[in-house]
Structure 1
Amino acid sequence: MKKSVSSDVVEKWLKAWCLSRELTMPMKYKSGLMVNVGYVNQKTRYVFSEPNEDFIQLSKQLSETNIFLKVCASPSEIKHKIPEKWIIQPQGFMMSCFHRMNITNNSLHEDYKLEFDFYNSTFVVRIVTQQGELASIGRVVLVDDLAVYDRISTDSKHRRKGLAKFLMKELEKIALSKGVFNNFLVATEEGKSLYLSLGWELYSYYTSIVIPD
């Protein structure tokens, strides 16, 4: 039986997504949420915790390009319910870790150092070389009892050195220091294996559709 998705968790995650990007907070749209993103390639996004009638009807009503509909479901659950004008995007994965991550204590190589920043409830950790080159970066945003990890990336020249794991540990330390133990993120196919190795679990498939230019 499919695990139900908490609309409360999805709303907290989306608030964190907006805080990380310094956007206005999500607004209610029927049973879902809407964000005025304002990017050229993403004007607006609608997010639904299930592929219900509100989601299906909106997919039929909209015809404008670069508006994204996002839903906690797999492509197979929606592809026969939406008009052909919509293009399904690469699969996303909502992931949760409602306990401490499975990360052994490891040290940062002497070639690197840490930098920290903070804005909008968003804590930023950077791993840079001693010469100041950015090697890895990530953010954790605290919304109530949820720590949302966002925009985790490692430069291709610095991969396979354990930097991503070290970065996640540093971000988790920040969340734990604030008394937040519930972790959440949306991963790509590429990033999913890293999080699984750290003790994260698949919370829900997360599918995006858009009408391209």
Structure 2
Amino acid sequence: MSANPELLALWARGWALTRGVPPPVWDEGGWRIEVGEPDQLRRYVHADADDAVARRAARIDRSDVLLKVCADAATTLALLPPGWSVRPPGFMMTLSGPMAVDPAEATGYTVALERRGPVLHCRLFAGNIETARGRVVVVDGVIAVYDRIAVDPGHRRRGLGRRVMRTLEKEAGVSQGVLVATVEGRALYASLGWALHSHYTTAVLDA
């Protein structure tokens, strides 16, 4: 199960915008993004598990350069030289139409919205304590890329994640979306009407 290359390109652009890093650059079969973080110098994102992934892995010689592949872990690992491992699975998901309404969506929390350039940030507060957060950017006016949706452990299972997502959707004004979910987040997004588009594996060279 590979990703649609055009969709992946849009997601990569949106992801870079939400993280405040340079836009992705096409580089021999995948998108290169210069992240510049202490634990992640750069990442390469590939729409499919193919020979380009194997060639890329053979050239990577440091553990802070991540290889992201829109395929499951076993398929990805089969292309990698010895000394590589994969992190917990991710899932690229898409939304086609408005998110589902959940009657259990959190109430009693204060919503704070802040726009930083093209990126809209949403935070939820209980009193003066931040409890949940997320961000969204609309790419080319047609698709919303959601990122860093998180709820603090002490406030989970209260509908805060849904509240953040639906608030971002309303403010973005776009009903087409794409994101990469964790194992835990996948269930939340599925409950809101998101569908699995592809697996998303992160591979790293062992230090």
| TM-score greater than 0.5 by the shorter chain | yes
State the match for 2:139 in structure 1.
143
Alignment match, 1:76: 74
Q: Secondary structure at the match of 1:151?
A: strand
Counterpart residue number, 1:122: 119
Structure 1 distance, partners of 2:105, 2:30, is: 43
Q: 1:25-77: per-residue Cα shift (whole Å, max 9, x none)?
A: 11110121101111111111001101121111111122222110111101121
For residues 148-184 of structure 1, what are the alpha-carbon distances to aligned partners after superposition, in whole Å with 9 as ceiling and x for unaligned? 11100011111121111111111110122xxx22111
- Say which SS state the counterpart of residue 40 (structure 2) adopts: coil
Q: Is the 8 A contact 1:20 1:120 kept in 2?
A: no
- Runs of at least 4 residues off by over 6 Å: none
Mapped contact 1:149–1:185 kept (Cα < 8 A): yes
- Matched with 1:92 is 90
2:181 counterpart residue number: 187
Per-residue deviation at 1:108? 4.8
Output the amino acid matched with 2:18: S
Task: Give the secondary-structure state (helix, strand or coil) at the position aligned to 1:114.
Answer: strand
Counterpart residue type for residue 171 of structure 1: L
Matched, 1:157 2:157: no
Q: Distance in 2 between matches of 1:38 and 1:212?
A: 19
> C-alpha separation between the residues in 2 aligned to 1:78 and 1:116?
39
- The correspondence for 1:40, drawn from 38, 41, 45, is 38
**Mapped contact 1:66–1:212 kept (Cα < 8 A):** no
Q: How large is the RMSD of aligned CA atoms in angstroms? A: 1.5
After TM superposition, the score normalised by the length of structure 1 is: 0.91
Gaps of 5+ in 2: none
Question: Following superposition of structure 1 onto structure 2, how do residues 8-19 of structure 1 map, counting pairs within 5 Å?
Answer: 8-19=6-17
Aligned mates of 2:162, 2:203 — CA distance in 1: 31
Cα distance, 1:139 vs structure 2: 0.6
Could you tell me how far apart the structure 2 residues matched to 1:48 and 1:81 are?
13
Matched to 1:156, the amino acid is P
Aligned equivalent of 2:20: 22
Amino acid at match of 2:193: G
2:130 paired residue among 125, 134, 156: 134
Matched to 1:84, the amino acid is P
Q: State the distance in 2 between where 1:107 and 1:165 align.
A: 6
Count residues with an aligned counterpart.
206
Structure 1 residue 79: deviation in Å?
Answer: 1.6
Give distance in 1, aligned partners of 2:39 and 2:136: 25
TM value normalised by structure 2: 0.94
Match of 1:212 in 2: 206
Alignment of 1:196 with 2:190, yes or no, is yes
Q: Does 1:113 align with 2:106?
A: no
Quote how far apart the aligned CAs of 1:78 are: 2.1
Alpha-carbon offset, residue 192 of structure 1: 0.6
Tell me which protein shows more strand as a share of its residues. 2
| Deviation (angstroms), 1:106 | 6.2
The separation in 2 between residues aligned to 1:87 and 1:120, in whole angstroms, is 36
Identity of aligned residues (%): 33
Distance 2:171 2:185 in 1: 21
